[in-house]
Amino acid sequence: MSRALVSLLALPLFAGCGGEVTGAWLVELPTVPDETCIDVVDHDFIEAVPLAGTGDDAEDGGADTGAGLSATEEASTSTRLLYLRVESTGDGSAVLIMGEEAWLGARQADGTWRFLQSGEDAEERSESHESGYVYTESWRLQDEESITLDLAGDGGTGTWSSVVAETRAWTEPDSWSEAVGRDPGRIPAADYLRYAADAELFDPGDPVVNTRQGQECDDSPCRLSVEHRCETSRPLTLTRARY
């Protein structure tokens, strides 16, 4: 089961928080979730621009300034009804129990209740040579899911949202000793960058590479990072469950 769906299963637990913290609720998930994603490329390569598909002009097939491409997708699924419950912690807060996990919630200044769960995973590796060459690559995944509920009496509305950001980053010297035994370098600039149409030092449109003796970057080490960020939102409708 996906984490997103598990989070949705947790929603009803929060539901009792708006009017009365304690309570069981039926939660209806509408059929249309909204998702917006953006890709951002950051680098210090001279006269280089992100490939189409990673910037503002990507939809037009042109090179861009690296500010990011936004894409909105809509998908339809059958409406679901879920039975959920929220309990008070006795200190003015509330708790959602989801499997072996507990989501804590707090009442906001506007009277709504917000429950939050976040996580982060990261990896990093490096290669070095006695001549001073150091290559690094890292990966980080950050995710945050939240439920905001606005309850009154026997009903209410809410929003389930999530933000997921995956970032990959690399660094490598702009030049290095022949003893390292590689040319070009390992930083994958050609996968994400091309030389700009008005480039003067390099051939316009060519893939960007980091060579052992050439000066391809504004500074050393050369650096490249790529972030893929998606935000998803789904409105909820809640009805108090009666026994």
> pLDDT (tens digit, 9 = 90+) per residue, 98-145?
656 677 898 889 888 898 889 999 999 999 999 999 999 999 999 999
Gap between the Cα atoms of 55 and 49, Å rounded: 9
Q: For 54, list phi and psi in degrees, rounded to 5.
A: -130, 25
Distances (CA, A) of 127 to 44, 169, 177: 21, 14, 14
Element (H, E) at 13: helix 3-15
Residue 60 burial (CB count, 10 A)? 9
> pLDDT (tens digit, 9 = 90+) per residue, 184-215?
999 999 999 999 999 999 999 999 999 999 99
The pTM of this model reads 0.74
Residue type at 157 in one-letter notation: T
Query: Which string of b and e fits 118-148 if b means at least 16 CB within 10 Å?
Result: eeeeeeeeeeeeeeebebbbeebebbebbbb
